[in-house]
Structure 1
Amino acid sequence: MYDRIVAMLFEIGVDTSQVTPQSTFRDLRMDSLSLTELAVMVSDDTGERAGHMTLDTTLAQAVQQLTHDVEPQESYSR
């Protein structure tokens, strides 16, 4: 998921040469419009809403939230 997000960042024109998992979207010089564009791309790619991302979210946090959101629900039988 991390690599997919970095690829999406590149697609929207973000310089990804110095991106790390600890980079925030603010560190990447993104604004609210570019963050919204990324959220739409993530949603289209994963089928999950990515509205939890803010400019101060790190890439690692975004990946963690997205992968947690898309994990299949376990079924418990009694």
Structure 2
Amino acid sequence: MPTVPEQPTTYHLITEVLVHIFDLPEDELHPDATFHALGLDSLALAELAITVEEDTGCRLEDLTAEHTLAQAAEAVAARLAPAMAPAAVPPPAQAALEPAVAPEPAVIAESAVTPGAP
């Protein structure tokens, strides 16, 4: 039985491209299928990589005919993971343990204008 891809979102993106752009029958697509077994050559793989990059912003490099659909999906997901990670937000438990730091008071420069001057 074929293994279920860990990243169904990227897997489904790739299979959708293969069905709609390359006219491959959906019932032939499974995670363990290699691009070679699906009949894709290096030119078709380059087109697939360009389409995935246009759809996700993720460059799919070093894709060969011997890679499986699951491997390609995992590669896209791995490249997208850093972009999807939250930006330097501490975990809630750690944030609760950190002491609150009061902001430093703002320094307001004294004006060179004499009070009451026109």
TM-score range, shorter chain: 0.7 to 0.9
1:42 aligned residue (40, 52, 62)? 52
Structure 2 residue runs of 5 or longer lacking an equivalent are: 1-9, 91-118
Q: Once the 2 structures are TM-superposed, how far is the Cα of residue 51 of structure 1 from its aligned partner?
A: 1.7
Larger mean Cα displacement after TM superposition, 34-43 or 64-73: 64-73
Mapped partners of 1:30, 1:15: distance in 2: 13
Alignment partner, residue 30 of structure 1: 40
Give the fraction of aligned pairs with identical amino acids, expressed as a percent. Answer: 34
The CA deviation string for residues 48-70 of structure 1, in whole angstroms up to 9 with x for no partner, is 11122110000111111110111
Bigger radius of gyration among the two: 2
Q: Once the 2 structures are TM-superposed, how far is the Cα of residue 10 of structure 1 from its aligned partner?
A: 1.2
Instruction: Give aligned pairs, total.
Output: 77
Q: Once the 2 structures are TM-superposed, how far is the Cα of residue 14 of structure 1 from its aligned partner?
A: 2.5
Normalised to the residue count of structure 1, the TM-score between the two structures is: 0.86
1:58-73 matches, cutoff 5 A:
58-72=68-82
Normalised to the residue count of structure 2, the TM-score between the two structures is: 0.59
